[in-house]
Structure 1
């Protein structure tokens, strides 16, 4: 007779990890808004504000692969602790410079880039750690709680960032620095290891020179990329995620422009995104129940067609609150997709290469985000909001058709039967 698995809410280590990450995510959302407001206040240039956001997002494209390989080499918990400590110092330096009256745009750009780089490493380590903190039967539930955490932090943090910036320019950055200290403290209290015991491997203890170390790191990255590529379902869904990320990043700016053109105030636009965030939170809470009732094939095909049908509605609704309601339906679908696909990916990926696989998937999925922002801006400048919505609707319809006819999706495996799939040895030719 097997021991009964305690409820997730009684898993002390998971709760510490969740609570610490929730506070730091709230702080990150606060500072994200504050960075844009700060650059506008310093330079008065929307172009500078946009460039600052691009620099902060650039690590998502540059460092997913090396961060994944390093997370598989290092002790994941220790890496996360260092990331929190250094992120806190980085954001704290912005607050200190503001209080001293000597902050320059270059400082903001460097701080955003450093914080973004550390966040990539932290996120990959945290995602890879989840299967080692919770029971396999609770993996989807744990991921749904993480989805709710992320979306709740965005819902609360973005308005809070504006409020705190109004109290004083340094206040939101002090808040963010403190949030990293809270996360660090939570990590220090967690007892479980974040990875299985790994055998010592040659070349990792300093025997190789710098070129040898770089070559081995490249080989390790290649192992993760090859593993992902050899999984047809994960390979296909990774590219589908990239396509939808591109769409939503372009759509974010599009709905703002559309709401503005139809008389929406800044406050109404804020409420619009607040309503959308509620849809995401609700979706993340019901995701475990839907995961138990729907096959992965139904989730993938259904999510893409739901988005394809919802995007054109933005041509019909004009009121910012109705736009928010349509956007909320789109955000409701997202967590179900994320929980189901992420649970399967984590379940079938061997622990020793999990960071590299997450990095390989992340460079495709998150690399589309800055591209979507760039494409959205170009389309809006050239064609206007309505034509941009039509073009994005066509793009989403194409993704829905691809998901429907894809053999890998139609033969999607079952999450309940997922077991780690060891990498195959590389073959010549």
Structure 2
């Protein structure tokens, strides 16, 4: 005879150890694979049913050998892992090309047009798309694969730079057509960068251990600054020897090399559920952008920090347009010296970033370093306006670079560490949009102001230094700003 029915039920229960699903339990939702990872295989396993019988059902996803899960890579154990180093390498290579292209643009415009207004307007055209599309780019970086945005962005930037170089070769002698080509290329570059930059900035915290985020930011900023320093150091000489088209073509090649390096990166990312229709997708984007703006605006310390740096950009951005005029018309220096000064700033920037990556700058120390940096940069900018010696100009630019590097690492780390991962792309894009939003206005005004004062550029540098000191004084007296900048980060 078999066992009684109630014994069979108890025996089945002892083998299963399954708790009945409670009506309040949430329904099971399979995890969506992280962006950039292959869809994991499923392996069948034996499981017990309510009646005590075993059936073969699909188990939870099993990762392929050697593949990491999104959860694992959210907290990587090593800073120098393959994925972060590939991103770092790609940014380093493209930075050289960017600096070569910038020097070619500035000095070609100065030689062919001699107009500070034209230089400012071309720079403004390149910066304007980032202001308009920045929040949208951040929302896309949170909703779509950041790796794909990075790779596709570098490819498009490379194609745009190559087209600019070939356009200069094709329309030899037509200054107006070349200026138009610079404007079109600048606008296209600005549009692509609006999606590319937030994706890069939002990816870094997912590629390194939380405790090494500050060092990772220092390395990333170091790579861009060092490579641009190399490019600017040789850019003036190469422009004089090879001309602008060759430098534009070199920029395009470096972008494509960077894209090739980044195709091998895996960026762990939890993607939201795709909206069912285009209308729902548009509504989701509007909601995403509003969420990012609201996150920044509803935090007074964060809001005041972003606004303060926007004002600082408005004051300091014109110096990039005005420095070649200062060197050429007021100091009588060759284009090579513009490269040397930018290289000095880059070297100082690297030193500052290295310092911020090694020395723990957290809590009240971040506030102290930040205010010291602002007042020191104000003095250095004022000195550029009065110094006659090129070596004093080199020293002032190097000092500006040191403190700029410290501020970049310290404040970027603060922004990343205090922002949830699902909002990071949007918040970083809001920061870049608001802070960078003053750049087009500043560059456009720089040329107009320079021509209005008969290109008395030294006076404008002295005014920029004085205004920077005023901004430092105002933010130093603002309590929400001081409290946010002085935030202590756990494990940072």
TM range (shorter): 0.7 to 0.9
Aligned to 1:403: 475
- Tell me the alpha carbon deviations over residues 6-59 of structure 1, each in whole angstroms, 9 at most, x when there is no partner: 553x31111110001111121122222233455567777665444332222222
Gap regions ≥5 residues in structure 2: 1-74
Aligned to 1:171: 246
402-411 vs 306-315, which moves further: 306-315
For 1:24 and 1:239, the matched residues in 2 are separated by 29
Find the partner of 1:248 among 288, 291, 316.
316
Aligned to 2:224: 150
For 1:240 and 1:169, the matched residues in 2 are separated by 36
Contact 2:236/2:339 (CA < 8 Å) preserved in 1?
no
Contact 1:249/1:373 (CA < 8 Å) preserved in 2?
yes
Structure 2 CA distance for partners of 1:29 and 1:60, relative to 1, 3 Å: same
Contact 2:120/2:443 (CA < 8 Å) preserved in 1?
no
Higher radius of gyration, 1 or 2: 2
34-43 vs 303-312, which moves further: 34-43
Find the partner of 2:341 among 267, 272, 279.
272
Question: How far did residue 66 of structure 1 move?
Answer: 1.2
Task: Give the SS at the match of 2:271.
Answer: coil
Aligned residues: 408
- Tell me the alpha carbon deviations over residues 265-294 of structure 1, each in whole angstroms, 9 at most, x when there is no partner: 433343233222221121111112344476
Find the partner of 1:84 among 134, 151, 154.
154
Contact 1:296/1:415 (CA < 8 Å) preserved in 2?
no
For 2:361 and 2:439, the matched residues in 1 are separated by 30
Aligned to 1:238: 306
Aligned to 1:116: 190
Question: How far did residue 322 of structure 1 move?
Answer: 0.2
Aligned to 1:184: 259
389-398 vs 36-45, which moves further: 36-45
Task: Give the SS at the match of 2:266.
Answer: coil
Question: How far did residue 162 of structure 1 move?
Answer: 4.3
Q: How does 1:273-288 map to 2 (within 5 A)?
A: 273-288=342-357
Q: Does residue 416 of the first structure (1) align with residue 489 of the second (2)?
A: yes
Aligned to 1:95: 165
Q: Does residue 25 of the first structure (1) align with residue 106 of the second (2)?
A: no
Contact 1:242/1:367 (CA < 8 Å) preserved in 2?
yes
Question: How far did residue 370 of structure 1 move?
Answer: 2.2
Structure 2 CA distance for partners of 1:292 and 1:162, relative to 1, 3 Å: closer
Across the aligned residues of Structure 1 and Structure 2, the Cα RMSD in angstroms comes to 2.8
Contact 1:36/1:49 (CA < 8 Å) preserved in 2?
yes
TM-score for both structures, normalised by structure 2: 0.75
252-261 vs 317-326, which moves further: 252-261
Question: How far did residue 122 of structure 1 move?
Answer: 1.0
Structure 2 CA distance for partners of 1:236 and 1:418, relative to 1, 3 Å: farther
Aligned to 2:213: 139
Question: How far did residue 255 of structure 1 move?
Answer: 4.7
For 1:133 and 1:240, the matched residues in 2 are separated by 30
Task: Give the SS at the match of 1:417.
Answer: coil
Structure 2 CA distance for partners of 1:408 and 1:179, relative to 1, 3 Å: same
Contact 2:385/2:457 (CA < 8 Å) preserved in 1?
no
Q: How does 1:298-337 map to 2 (within 5 A)?
A: 298-314=368-384, 316-337=386-407
Q: How does 1:216-235 map to 2 (within 5 A)?
A: 216-235=284-303
Aligned to 1:62: 132
Aligned to 2:123: 53
For 2:460 and 2:112, the matched residues in 1 are separated by 32
Structure 2 CA distance for partners of 1:281 and 1:253, relative to 1, 3 Å: same
Task: Give the SS at the match of 1:190.
Answer: coil
Contact 1:347/1:418 (CA < 8 Å) preserved in 2?
no
TM-score for both structures, normalised by structure 1: 0.85
For 1:308 and 1:158, the matched residues in 2 are separated by 23
Aligned to 2:424: 354
Structure 2 CA distance for partners of 1:245 and 1:48, relative to 1, 3 Å: closer
Structure 2 CA distance for partners of 1:393 and 1:43, relative to 1, 3 Å: closer
- Tell me the alpha carbon deviations over residues 296-324 of structure 1, each in whole angstroms, 9 at most, x when there is no partner: 22133222222234333345532122022
Aligned to 2:7: none
Q: Does residue 126 of the first structure (1) align with residue 200 of the second (2)?
A: yes
Question: How far did residue 178 of structure 1 move?
Answer: 1.7
Structure 2 CA distance for partners of 1:113 and 1:257, relative to 1, 3 Å: closer
Contact 1:68/1:357 (CA < 8 Å) preserved in 2?
yes
